[in-house]
Amino acid sequence: MIHAIILVLIILCIFIIYEEIRKWFISKKLRNFKSPKQAPILGAAIRFIGKTNDELIETFLNIFDEVESTPLQMWLGPMLTIGISQPEDIETVLKSEDCLNKPYLYELLKCKTSILATDKEIWKPHRRALNSAFNVKMLQNYVPIINDLSRQMVKKMEPFLGERGDLYRTIFIAQTELVGRTLFGSKLQITSERLSSLFNSLKLVMNNVQYRILRFWLRWDFVFNLTKVGREEQIPLRKLIETIDQIYEHKVKELDTLKSQGIDHLTKVAEQNATNFLERCLILEQDGIISHENVHDQMRVMIVAGIDTSSTTVYATLLLLAINQKHQDLVVKELRSIFDTADCDVTQDHLGSMQYLDRVIKEALRLIPPIPFIARKTSADIQLAKGIIPQDSMVFIHIMKLHRNPTIWGKNALEFDPDRFLPENVAKRPPFSYIPFSGGARNCIGMKYGMISAKIVLANILRRYKFTTDLKFEDIRARVHIVLELTNENPLRIDKRNF
Ligand code: HEM
């Protein structure tokens, strides 16, 4: 027994020495990259041990502030992690063919085989095939549905008139229905209890992803599922999967019914280049290009990547407009010049006319980017101005830091000023200084959809209601579980507007 223990200890020592030498050689190449204080073996990971979810992310972001400039280098156990926040470095990484892969942490989002998480060999053909669900024609088709659901959202806010209600939850639930009706073309009536439980499930799953990211020993499902957190996730996760199954089955049944009436709906919409996301997936499944499991993962990613981000965009814009009344008045002035009534639909033409609202949303996405940082994995060495990022490193791009950098945005970087997005001002900034939807080939597939949907939703809400708050910008509190969530409790007061 003693011999066995000694042998294990010797092997462990050899492994640790080997690891430390390996790290030393790699770090030598990164001499110009700043480094926070690190411990042997665990590196910077030691700073995350025992932290709560909220503290984890704060610690991570603090490291960027601590080293003052980027690129920064740190070890999370055996994993070399590089942090960048300068536009030139970000441009190099996001445009590189060798930075198209994602690190393992994206697999934790429960959609391992979706376009969000897969490596470039699989991602490229899948992304190309799925892009058409967001083409101009489809975006136009989604406009009346978004209007319809925006009006329902306005109605659901009515009980909060004159007080502070949970508007974020209301917006989130409406966005869930929105994704269902537009991207999946679902006519399935999901009960409000189910929608509410979907909200809780999604929040829990996202929260747990963050919990696992910096506890790298939980990256394997079989280990995670043994923990209390992992076990407690099972029921809400099953509910989420069940809802997606129901939508899928409902759609397949609908198509079968049409087929029995002699209508081949999928062929018809494919010929018209007018397939929504689910129809596109079903065609790819029929053609044997993607598997049945893959369709489910692709549907799941639309929910995971589309709902939280869109809800935060709308909610953060309302909050910033409540803090900056002058800009709320200017948006409403623009809306009055375009619309005769508070209830009429926002059309494709109106979308082009709402220039000020467009700039307001962009400015909200700058100050409060729903995804404050993203990550990539390098498949080759990447040359930056200050040195080389080695192959197989994890690269974190700190979008929030980029968006608030005073050297790019001026001394008043934290002030809300939509005119930063006037074309003449955009032209003065370096490319890749504004990337709320990421950039390069692997940017957000829902970028145009997200902007259109935010504009329609906000144009409907702001014609009906006026928003005020006691908060100042510096009072805004946020939690990040991949997507940023504003945590001040019900800060928005909502009143009727005479339009
Ligand atoms: C409206 C606000 C939105 C913001 C700010 C946003 C932001 C982003 C960002 C930053 C990424 C890059 C993620 C990464 O590389 O790690 C991304 C990717 C993605 N987004 Fe969005 N997104 C939004 C809306 C949407 C919507 C509405 C959908 C779909 C319904 C969507 C679906 C996706 C998907 C599938 C990806 C992965 C794309 C790929 O890797 O090919 N997003 N988004």
pLDDT in the model for residue 107: 86
pLDDT in the model for residue 228: 92
pLDDT in the model for residue 105: 85
Return the best residue to mutate from 116, 146, 444, 458 for the ligand 1 pocket (most ligand atoms within 8 A of CB): 444
373-394: pLDDT as tens digits = 999 999 999 999 999 999 999 9
CB atoms within 10 A of CB 383: 11
Residue 51 belongs to a domain with what CATH number? 1.10.630.10
* CB within 8 Å of 268: residues ≥ 6 apart: none
Kindly give the distance from the C-alpha atom of residue 306 to the centroid of ligand 1, in angstroms, as a whole number: 7
Residue among 461, 58, 131, 219 nearest 123 (CA): 131
Kindly give the distance from the C-alpha atom of residue 481 to the centroid of ligand 1, in angstroms, as a whole number: 15
pLDDT in the model for residue 214: 67
Return the best residue to mutate from 301, 309, 400 for the ligand 1 pocket (most ligand atoms within 8 A of CB): 309
Q: Does 368 contact ligand 1 (Cβ within 6 A)?
A: no
Residue 292: domain span: 32-496
317-331: pLDDT as tens digits = 999 999 999 999 999
pLDDT in the model for residue 296: 93
Kindly give the distance from the C-alpha atom of residue 446 to the centroid of ligand 1, in angstroms, as a whole number: 6
pLDDT under 50 in the chain at which residues? none
Is 308 contained in some domain? yes
Is 293 contained in some domain? yes
Q: Does 127 contact ligand 1 (Cβ within 6 A)?
A: yes
Rounded to whole angstroms, the Cα distance separating 120 from 394 reads 15
Is 9 contained in some domain? no
Q: Determine the atom of ligand 1 nearest the C-alpha atom of 365.
A: 5
Q: Does 210 contact ligand 1 (Cβ within 6 A)?
A: no
Q: Are strands 394-398 and 382-384 parallel, antiparallel or unpaired?
A: unpaired
Q: Does 116 contact ligand 1 (Cβ within 6 A)?
A: yes
pLDDT in the model for residue 486: 92
Is 19 contained in some domain? no
Is 262 contained in some domain? yes
Q: Does 457 contact ligand 1 (Cβ within 6 A)?
A: no
* CB within 8 Å of 311: residues ≥ 6 apart: 168, 171, 172, 175
415-457: pLDDT as tens digits = 999 999 999 999 999 999 999 999 999 999 999 999 999 999 9
Rounded to whole angstroms, the Cα distance separating 169 from 145 reads 20
Is 116 contained in some domain? yes
Is 339 contained in some domain? yes
Kindly give the distance from the C-alpha atom of residue 360 to the centroid of ligand 1, in angstroms, as a whole number: 20
Question: 71 preceded by cis ω (within 30°)?
Answer: yes
Is 25 contained in some domain? no
Q: Domain tally for the chain?
A: 1
